[in-house]
């Protein structure tokens, strides 16, 4: 279980594509606000492990490569805590 407050500090690099409140008008990118915490962590790990390709997967991999497991848990907690 992550720390949403710590996740907020890490989320500065996420907002360009996913929006300051986890919702974004770019229809090809997913909204994150209120998404299930465990799924968010799973998806970030999947990008990091190279389990996703196509679309923006390489971009996501580049961002996620710099994150620790704790960072991932915290980011997941942060976005899961937002109002969808």
Which residues bind to a copy of itself, rule: CB under 8 A? Answer: 24, 26-31, 33-39, 42-43, 46, 49, 51-55, 57, 84
Q: To the nearest whole angstrom, how small is the minimum distance from the Cβ of residue 38 to a copy of itself? A: 4
Cβ(40)–Cβ(80) below 8 Å: yes
- CB-wise, 66 or 84, nearer to a copy of itself? 84
Distance CA 56, CA 31 (A): 14
| Nearest residue to 41 (alpha-carbon basis) of 59, 17, 67, 19 | 67
Q: To the nearest whole angstrom, how small is the minimum distance from the Cβ of residue 43 to a copy of itself? A: 8
- CB-wise, 9 or 26, nearer to a copy of itself? 26
Cβ(36)–Cβ(68) below 8 Å: no
- CB-wise, 5 or 42, nearer to a copy of itself? 42
């Amino acid at each position: 279980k992550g720390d949403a407050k710590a996740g907020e500090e890490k989320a500065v690099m996420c907002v360009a594509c996913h929006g300051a409140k986890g919702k974004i008008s770019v229809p090809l990118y997913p909204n994150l606000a209120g998404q299930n915490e465990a799924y968010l962590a799973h998806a970030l790990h999947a990008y990091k492990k190279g389990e996703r390709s196509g679309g923006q997967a390489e971009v996501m991999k580049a961002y996620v490569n710099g994150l620790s497991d704790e960072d991932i848990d915290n980011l997941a907690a942060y976005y899961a805590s937002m109002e969808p």
